[in-house]
Amino acid sequence: MMQLYSPLHFFGTYYRMIQQNFIDMEKMLELFEVDQSVKDIPGAKELNVKSGHVVFDNVTFNYDPRQTALKGISFSIPAGATVALVGPSGSGKSTILRLLFRFYDPTSGNIYIDGQNIRELQQNSLRRNIGVVPQDTVLFNDTIEYNIRYGDVDASHETVVNAAKAAQIHDSIMNFPDGYETRVGERGLRLSGGEKQRLAIARTIVKNPPIILLDEATSALDTTTERHIQDALNAMTKGRTTLVIAHRLSTIMKADVILVVRDGEIVETGTHDELIRNALDNNGEGVYYDMWEKQLHDDGPSAENSILQDDQ
């Protein structure tokens, strides 16, 4: 009986493991609403990140031959810099992140990390080096500790706690009924949007990748939560090359470079000050300037004041 039981038991465990991994991966992919179409080339190499310098060189991409999502875009992100992607819905911001994560290969043109063409790399090695913080984080039906450690299953409890502290979520966790052992997810404690996002940030700090892709949550946050999230983001992005789909004025203003994307093209590039100054020198004409004016109008003057206070 034992002889029969063991292999069955093994396959049962193995099956559950595969199933769990599959569900996790499926959930991650769902966030980007894509299926995996890219295959490693024979002899694909491991990515060797030296500093995290990212280059898009004349990248064109079509999901569908009848419509071009990205039209020959080129940009270079210095190692460790934060780049904010801004632009209307459907302009191609998420597509830029998906191509860097290699959910798809460009139709033409190339993407390089520290001079290595990502087409020629093992997808696993690429993805190990990139942390993704989506707008709405998937929580597994498990403990807080498990959910943070998901970034690196070998991380110690101390590493998990330090990441939670850096992500400004530790104090909230200590107030949960069972601390780090509190179960979350659909069958556990429901976390607020801001808490979920900080948990995702803690998870990424544990993963410790040199490159980060971040899709900022669009939902409005109160000032205290906004400040907590901003501190958490600063801790996460410090010294790491970061591409952020930015919705918050605070993030946009502090980005090293802003890429303004419209209809699959980068129509303006610069810091916040440069883009505003250029528009003012051009009779107030500028895509970024218009977006900025609209955001200030929508968010009210308090938004700008709180950012300006931040800088003092």
The footprint of ligand ATP (CB under 6 A) covers 33-34, 63-64, 69, 87, 89-95
- Please report where in the chains the tokens 């597994």 appear, as a residue: 140
DSSP string, 35-53: -----PPTTPBPP--SS--
CB of 50 closer than 8 Å to CB of 112: no
Question: Nearer Cβ to ligand ATP, position 34 or 287?
Answer: 34
* Least distance between ligand ATP and beta carbon 259 (Å): 11
Minimum CB distance to ligand ATP, residue 298 (Å): 16
Shortest Cβ distance from residue 85 to ligand ATP (Å)? Answer: 8
Find the shortest distance in angstroms from Cβ 87 to ligand ATP.
6
Output 75 or 176, the one with its CB closest to ligand ATP.
Answer: 75
CB nearer ligand ATP, residue 63 or residue 176: 63
Taking the C-alpha atoms of residue 247 and residue 276, their distance in angstroms, rounded to an integer, is: 17
For residue 105, count other CB atoms closer than 10 A to its CB.
17
Least distance (Å) between residue 68 CB and ligand ATP: 9
116: which residues sit within 8 A by CB, 6+ positions away? 45, 47, 48
Question: CA–CA distance from 101 to each of 8, 122, 127, 139, 183 (Å)?
Answer: 37, 11, 7, 21, 30
Which tokens belong to 270?
């610069």
DSSP string, 93-148: HHHHHHHHTTSS--SEEEEEETTEEGGGB-HHHHHHTEEEE-SS----SSBHHHHH
Cβ 90 to ligand ATP, closest distance in Å? 4
Q: With respect to ligand ATP, which residue has the nearer C-beta, 29 or 308?
A: 29
Contact 197, 217 (CB under 8 A): yes
Task: Indicate the residue among 206 and 252 with the shorter CB distance to ligand ATP.
Answer: 252
Closest distance to ligand ATP from the beta carbon of 63 (Å): 3
- In sequence order, the 6+-apart residues with CB closer than 8 A to the CB of 269 are 75, 257, 258, 259, 260
What minimum distance in Å lies between the beta carbon of 94 and ligand ATP?
3
Nearer to ligand ATP, 231 or 299 (CB): 299
Between 114 and 265, whose beta carbon lies closer to ligand ATP?
265
Structural tokens at position 307: 């950012």
- 265 conformational bin, left if phi > 0, alpha if psi -120 to 50, beta if neither: beta
Smaller CB separation from ligand ATP, 34 or 267: 34
Contact (CB, 8 A) for 288 and 280: no
